[in-house]
A = this chain, B = another copy of it.
Amino acid sequence: MSAKSPFPLHLPPRLVETAVAAALAEDLGSEGDITTDAIVPAGATGEAAIVARQDGVIAGLDLAEAAFKALDPKISFVRVVQDGGEVASGGTIATVTGKTRALLTAERTALNFLGRLSGIATLTAAYVKAVEGTAARISCTRKTTPGLRAFEKYAVRAGGGVNHRFGLYDAVLVKDNHIAAAGGLAQALERLSARSGHLVKIEVEVDTLDQLKQALGFPIDAVLLDNMDVEMLKHAVKLVAGRVTTEASGGVSLETVREIASSGVDLISVGALTHSPRNLDSSLEWKA
């Protein structure tokens, strides 16, 4: 159920530092942690564990660690689980040792990142497990939390999923409205070829088999088979015959995903992975 990447997963430090600094600033304002600063001596040190309160797949440890280190660079953050690894309810995810002030002040920021990303990884892993044995891979969409897309896409990978395009800039996805505005699929794709670089892939959304046939007449890389039932998906896969990547979307849930996968599509994209995961519940428990 865990991720298949050949290397341990890590987030780019520059993205992590920027996001953590912004999150801490949001929580600390100009005054800082007025409870902790008034009550806890600057020199006091302590040890705590981040403990899972439910089963799941972990993602976001780099962000959690950075939150503590931003307040005490000498903190020791020891990972018991790695990003992409599973944890059982009650299990320790990581231990943190250092200045008590830093532990108390960064706690919520660290857990807010970890909880959301692990929630996404856990939900992704459930979908991946549901299609095990089929050819289908599970993909995210652009329905991500504003400001967190790179992290949420990473959490999908940690859960064993694959990433769709990152934004409007790195691949072409032609939808009905584009075709209508261009006056037809042919015109749309001609305009694209006049402008796109040779390293940009082109995917076209189709709702019917007729549209699919038309689209396959053009040099495209993938088709998005939107809101088709399984029978139609199977027809579509047969029609495509391996010439381009096939992606199914619409009406996907943990209950329906395996049947959709049985159609033979290459990819099933699930918006809920990033727009409606449940946070993975965890807490910071003090040891000393």
Given contacts A40-B178, A178-B36, contact A28 B199 (CB under 8 A): no
Q: Which of A152-189 contact B (CB under 8 A)?
A: 153, 157, 162-174, 176-182, 188
Contact, CB under 8 Å: A195 / B157: yes
Q: Is A65 an interface residue (CB 8 A)?
A: no
Contact, CB under 8 Å: B6 / A191: yes
What's the minimum C-beta distance from A155 to chain B, rounded to whole angstroms? 13
Contact, CB under 8 Å: B41 / A169: no
Q: Which residue of B lies closest to A173 (CB)?
A: B35
Report chain B residues within 8 Å CB of A162.
195-198
Report chain B residues within 8 Å CB of A36.
168, 178
Given contacts A19-B147, A166-B30, contact A172 B35 (CB under 8 A): yes
Contact, CB under 8 Å: A26 / B146: yes
Please choose the segment from A74-82, A113-121, A253-261 that sits at the chain B interface, where 4 or more of its residues have CB less than 8 A away.
A113-121
Given contacts A7-B41, A39-B188, A119-B276, 15 further A-B contacts (CB under 8 A): A7-B37, A14-B24, A26-B149, A27-B168, A28-B169, A30-B150, A32-B169, A38-B172, A105-B168, A112-B145, A139-B197, A162-B197, A165-B199, A171-B200, A198-B267
User: Can you list 19 A-B contacts with CB-CB less than 8 angstroms, sorted by A residue number?
Assistant: A7-B42, A23-B147, A28-B167, A29-B168, A30-B167, A31-B169, A34-B200, A35-B172, A44-B181, A109-B146, A111-B143, A112-B142, A119-B276, A143-B279, A147-B147, A162-B196, A164-B199, A169-B170, A272-B279
